[in-house]
Structure 1
Amino acid sequence: MPAPPPARKQSALLATLNRNRLSWVGIGMLAVIFAVAIFAPLLSPHDPLQQNILHRLEPPSAEFWLGTDSYGRDVLSRLFHGARISLTIGFLAVLVAMIVGSTLGVLAGYIGGIFDQVVMGIVDVMLSFPTLLLGLMVAAMLGASLENLIIAIAITETAPFVRVARAPTIAMKRQDFVEAGRALGFSPGRIMGVHILPNILSDIVVVASLWMASAIRTEASLSFIGLGVSPPTPTWGGMIREGFENILSAWWLVVFPSLAILLTVLALNILGDALRDAIDPKLRGEE
């Protein structure tokens, strides 16, 4: 059956958020993190790339709130600017994966046959590899750069979107309103894009919010092993990698970027759970 009206969906979402107050905590955390990333140049007390060997490995103080790294750079400023890079990579990687994966999933579910078998065979192979291992292989082949890192992470996250889009498409293409569209002579492209995709978009958005958290973790992991954005550009994973050599004497180099990743992933997971609860009628207690 067709999707509920937008007003009803919005009311269900707000009602679910109000019942689960923890979801507002996640939304608030994300709002703060994204605000920090957007206004990083204004909020940063120092130049994140400026080196000062005289202030090398200073602990948190009144001048350097989160201390300095082995090159004398302000950790707080690098943390703020690193948020821009890490969130940009996570958002763009998930966006690419969502567009490509959802398109393939809808096509596979609607067309079926050999095309469906080939697509799902490739998806099964991709899912047989751990996300980090698959990203590691792709990033190693493409090389370390911002664009290649986005491509590598997007490839690792395309398969889940294919599965999420395919299953409801198979069920929905047999619905009466889709059959009516065929009877009226609508093209397959119009049926998939206008009648099927809007009805499954909410499920795709939930998956996107959850997998953005995975994308940020993957970016940090690849940056930690040297396959991320090239230094001196700050990223959270790169900061952890740079501070790992001095972890015993300069704990702040690893702890603060790790906390940034932890809080971001936690906030995205909370938001994803809230969206899932609002969209799934069984979880809302509806028939």
Structure 2
Amino acid sequence: MTDATFSLTTAERQANPILMALRRNRFSWIGIGLLALILLAALLAPAIAPDDPLKQNILHRLSPPSAEFWLGTDSYGRDVLSRLLHGARISLSVGFLSVLIAMVVGSALGIVAGYIGGVFDQLVMGLVDVMLSFPTLLLGLMVAAMLGASFENLVIAIAITETAPFVRVARAPTIAVKRREFIEAGKSMGFSPLRIMGVHILPNILSDIVVVASLWMASAIRTEASLAFVGLGVPPPAATWGGMIREGFDNILSAWWLVVFPSLAILLTVLALNILGDALRDAIDPKTRSGR
């Protein structure tokens, strides 16, 4: 059996039960639909936003929600709905890119550590234990404060905080998979360790990694909002959900919409990602699938 055939067969075995389980779990489609709407709104923000998110109009400063301004305006007279839609692009981009980097780096380290074992495995897991001893937000604050406030530094800071969980998730199944017969057969045929890890081990643990990625993307969006709230996010006047909450906090008693609507956007996005992540986790769990 060729590597391509093996990988395709493995992917098919994993994908079909997952798709069937998702179809049976109607609650998962709520998360999928809600997330699709949020992504669509972010992608179409330049076309559907009623105004320029950076345009200031002091005459309409702190206007409440109305027919002219559906979600009101902020202290600079900027349309909140327009900033909310454009802010989704930045907040989701930060969440996606940071999780993507953490997933690639963490999964690679976890697979290599689990496959090689020995001193390298102990060193990697010792570093992971140190990173996990810090709360995610505290670690993100330290890294972001050292790097400075910018889009790129924010992505790097959040990626660093989320690398350790991917190392753990990738390492444990790698240790189990490397003892299976087809791995021993690959070694006897002279396959290199890189080929075994990338072609034979990775497809067998990929579903676990994807589930963790969906759950930690929700955490990344929360972290981005928290860092933006303390002034370590994307610098203004760029619109981000966390930045909008920070800017509206001073007027929270007189202009509630400045905080409520960005908070609802974060809540709905995190809720959709958590629903999707839980559904994927249940779908790949053999005990859950067999019990349905």
Distance 1:156 1:283 in 2: 30
Alignment of 1:179 with 2:207, yes or no, is no
Offset from partner CA, 1:144-168 (integer Å, 9 cap, x none)? 0000000000000000000000000
Displacement of 1:5 in angstroms is 4.3
Distance 1:8 1:184 in 2: 24
Residues 98-177 of structure 1 mapped to structure 2, 5 A cutoff: 98-177=103-182
Displacement of 1:13 in angstroms is 2.2
The residue that corresponds to 1:265 in the other structure is 270
Displacement of 1:86 in angstroms is 0.1
In 1, are the aligned partners of 2:10 and 2:203 still within 8 Å (CA)? no
The residue that corresponds to 1:217 in the other structure is 222
Offset from partner CA, 1:241-264 (integer Å, 9 cap, x none)? 000000000000000000000000
Which letter does structure 1 place at the counterpart of 2:98? A
Alignment of 1:71 with 2:76, yes or no, is yes
In 2, are the aligned partners of 1:105 and 1:166 still within 8 Å (CA)? yes
Which letter does structure 2 place at the counterpart of 1:175? R
Cα distance, 1:8–1:170 mapped onto 2, change above 3 Å: closer
Displacement of 1:285 in angstroms is 1.5
Question: Which 5+ residue runs of structure 2 have no aligned equivalent?
Answer: 1-5
Distance 1:4 1:277 in 2: 22
Displacement of 1:14 in angstroms is 2.7
2:212 to 204, 207, 213: 207
Cα distance, 1:10–1:116 mapped onto 2, change above 3 Å: closer
Distance 2:193 2:52 in 1: 54
Distance 2:145 2:247 in 1: 20
Q: TM-score, normalised by structure 1?
A: 0.97
Distance 2:178 2:18 in 1: 26
Aligned with 1:219: secondary structure?
Answer: helix
Displacement of 1:194 in angstroms is 0.3
Offset from partner CA, 1:257-278 (integer Å, 9 cap, x none)? 0000000000000000111111
Which letter does structure 2 place at the counterpart of 1:77? S
Distance 1:8 1:62 in 2: 52
2:59 to 54, 57, 63: 54
In 1, are the aligned partners of 2:61 and 2:74 still within 8 Å (CA)? yes
In 2, are the aligned partners of 1:3 and 1:199 still within 8 Å (CA)? no
Offset from partner CA, 1:67-92 (integer Å, 9 cap, x none)? 00000000000000000000000000
In 1, are the aligned partners of 2:61 and 2:75 still within 8 Å (CA)? yes
Measured on the aligned residues, the alpha-carbon RMSD in Å equals: 1.5
Comparing 11-20 with 85-94, greater Cα deviation is found at 11-20
Displacement of 1:11 in angstroms is 3.1
Distance 1:132 1:186 in 2: 42
Distance 2:115 2:153 in 1: 32
Offset from partner CA, 1:162-205 (integer Å, 9 cap, x none)? 00000000111110000000000000000000000110000000
Aligned with 1:282: secondary structure?
Answer: helix
Q: TM-score, normalised by structure 2?
A: 0.96
1:9 to 10, 14, 25: 14
Displacement of 1:283 in angstroms is 1.2
Displacement of 1:2 in angstroms is 8.8
In 2, are the aligned partners of 1:60 and 1:66 still within 8 Å (CA)? yes
Using the aligned pairs only, state the percent identity.
79
Distance 1:119 1:161 in 2: 12
